[in-house]
Amino acid sequence: MKKRLETICVQGGYTPGNGEPRQIPIVQSTTFKYDTSEDMGKLFDLEASGYFYSRLQNPTNDLVAAKIAELEGGCAAMLTSSGQAANFYAIFNIATCGDHIVSSSSIYGGTFNLFAVTMRKMGIEFTFVSPDCTDEELEAAFRPNTKAVFGETIANPALCVLDIERFANAAHKHGVPLIIDNTFATPVNCRPFEWGADIVTHSTTKYMDGHGSAVGGCIVDSGKFDWTKYPEKFAGLCTPDDSYHGVVYAERFGLEGAFITKATAQLMRDFGSIQAPFNAYLLNLGLESLHVRMKRHCENAQAVAEFLESSDKISWVRYCGLKNDKYHALAEKYLPNGSCGVVSFGVKGGRKAAESFMKKLRVIAIETHVADARSCCLHPASATHRQMTDDELLAAGVSPDLVRLSCGIENAQDLIDDIKQALDQID
Ligand SMILES: *Cc1c(COP(=O)(O)O)cnc(C)c1O
C-alpha cells in the first residue's frame, strides 16, 4: 500500500513481525556472532549482507536510515555521526585529490570551512558560486575534473532558496550529480529528488531530531544517477576496489546500491563516523513527529516574521514566507507548504541594540543552535563572528544588526509578546 509522508514519518523503515517490539530495538552491540568463519568471510567479501561490526553498520541505524530514504523518495541511505560527516562522505565518495566541486556560496559556515579549508588540504578544489548567479556564471564554474555540484535547499543562515532544478540541469549537462543539503526544509517541505537532485544530505541534529538531543547526519541516494555512463570520471564506483578483492560497486550493487554500499564499505570502514545506535533511536523518536512539528515551526515563523515586518524597531526581515522577500517566488515553487522556522532580521540601532534586545528575551534563549522545539536566537556579530570588524561582517553577508531567530513550537503569541517586550526595553 502506498504510504503518504505523514504515515512514513510515524511508521516508515520498520515493520515489526508477530510478537516483535513495536518501537525500534536499540541494538547496543559493537559486534555480531557467526557460526563459521566462512559465514563471516562472505560479509568481508561483500558477497552476503549482514552485520559484523558497528563501526560500519548497525541494525538500529539501518532502520532509521530506511525511514529517511523513504521520506526523501530515495533508494538507500546511511546515518553518520554528524551533518559534517554526511557532507564530507557525500563528496569524498566520488571526489578525490585532483578533483573539483562546484558549490553554492550560500551554505552553512561549518560546511564552507570543511570545503574551503580542510578538503582543499586534501587536494579537492571548490569553486563557489552565488545561488543567484546567472546561467553563464554557473556554466563558467565547471572544469573537466568537476565531480559534483553542491547546494542547500534553504541556506543556513542566509535563508536563500536554491533553484534546485536549474542547478540540477547544469550538473547533469556536465555529467555530474547534484548533492543537496536538505537540512532546513526537511522532506516534509521539499523533496529535492523530485526536482532532479541525485544525492541528499542532512544534519539530523536539526529538525529531524528536533529536540536538541542528538548530533547526527544522513546521506540519501536517489539511485537515479548513472555512474556507468562516465566510468572514467567515477572510477571509484566503476572500476575494481582492490580492498574488496576487485568488486566493482556499480556492477555488483547496481545504480540503487552502489553509492551507499561504497560509502559504507570504504568510508565508514576507514573513518568510522557512524551514529551511535542510541542516537539513532532518539532521531527516530524525532522523526515520528516531524510532520506535525514542521507545520508548527513554519506557522510560528510566519507569524513572527509578519510581526517583525510591521514593527518600527526593526530595519529589515528575511523570511521566504513573506510576500516581499527576495526568495518568495522560489519558495512558492519549491516550498509550497512552508519553508522552515528560522527568520533573520535587523534591529534598528545596530550591534548594540541587537545585543541589548537579546538580553531582555525571556522565552527565547540565546544559543548556537537552530531547529529545536524550543525557540532560540543568536547574534552572530557578538558570537560566531565576533572576531570580525563591522566592515568584515558586511563583506561576509552578516550585518552587525543581524539576529538569527529559530522559532520553536511554542505558542506563537508568546514568542511575539517576548520579542515585543524585549524591543520595548532596548537601551
Ligand atoms: C548544522 C548544519 C550542518 C552541520 O551539521 P552538524 O550535525 O552540526 O554536524 C550542515 N548543514 C546545515 C545546513 C546545517 O544547518
Q: Is residue 97 within 8 Å of 123, Cβ to Cβ? A: yes
CA of residue 83 to ligand 1 center, whole Å: 5
Q: Is the pLDDT of residue 394 over 80?
A: no
Q: How many CB atoms lie within 10 A of CB 335?
A: 22
Closest ligand 1 atom, residue 107 Cα:
13
CA of residue 286 to ligand 1 center, whole Å: 17
Q: How confident is the model at residue 391 (pLDDT cuts 50, 70, 90)?
A: confident
Strands (E), 86-176: 100-104, 125-129, 146-152
- The pLDDT tens digits of the residues spanning 150-164 come to 999 999 888 999 999
CA dist 200 and 26 (Å) reads 25
CA dist 243 and 266 (Å) reads 8
Closest residue by Cα to atom 7, ligand 1, is 83
Closest ligand 1 atom, residue 371 Cα:
15
CA of residue 221 to ligand 1 center, whole Å: 18
**Cell, residue 337:** 507548504
Closest ligand 1 atom, residue 215 Cα:
7
CA of residue 203 to ligand 1 center, whole Å: 5
Contacts of 281 (CB under 8 A, 6+ apart): 24, 26, 60, 64
**Cell, residue 244:** 574488496
**Cis bond before residue 157 (omega within 30° of 0):** yes
Of 51, 92, 344, nearest to 201 by C-alpha is: 92
Percentage of the chain lying above the pLDDT 90 cut:
89
Task: State the average pLDDT over residues 343-351.
Answer: 94
CA of residue 80 to ligand 1 center, whole Å: 12
Cα dihedral sign for 346, 352, 356, 359? positive
Closest residue by Cα to atom 2, ligand 1, is 203
What angle do the packed helices 290-310 and 412-424 form, to 10 degrees? 30
Task: State the average pLDDT over residues 256-276.
Answer: 97
Residue 80, strand partner residues: 217
**Cell, residue 127:** 569553486
Give the residues surrounding ligand 1 with Cβ less than 6 Å away: 82-84, 108, 110-111, 152, 156, 181, 183-184, 203, 205-206, 215, 217
**Between 364 and 45, residue with greater pLDDT:** 364
The C-alpha angle with vertex 32 and arms to 28 and 36, in degrees rounded to 5, equals 170
Residue 377, strand partner residues: 366, 405
CA of residue 228 to ligand 1 center, whole Å: 31
Closest ligand 1 atom, residue 205 Cα:
7
Task: State the average pLDDT over residues 169-186.
Answer: 98
Which of the listed residues 156, 279, 370 should we mutate to test ligand 1's pocket, taking the one with most ligand atoms within 8 A of CB?
156
Mean pLDDT value across the chain: 95
CA of residue 204 to ligand 1 center, whole Å: 8
Task: State the average pLDDT over residues 339-360.
Answer: 95
Helix (H, G, I), strand (E, B) or coil at 399: coil
Q: Is residue 362 within 8 Å of 321, Cβ to Cβ? A: no
Which of the listed residues 91, 112, 200, 206 should we mutate to test ligand 1's pocket, taking the one with most ligand atoms within 8 A of CB?
206
Q: Is the pLDDT of residue 390 over 90?
A: no
CA dist 410 and 412 (Å) reads 6
Letter string b/e over residues 277-315, b meaning 16 or more CB atoms within 10 A of that residue's CB? bebbbbbbbbbebbbebbebbbbbbbbbbbbbbebebbe
Closest residue by Cα to atom 5, ligand 1, is 83
- The pLDDT tens digits of the residues spanning 201-215 come to 999 999 999 999 999
- The pLDDT tens digits of the residues spanning 93-113 come to 999 999 999 999 999 989 999
Residue positions counted in the chain: 427
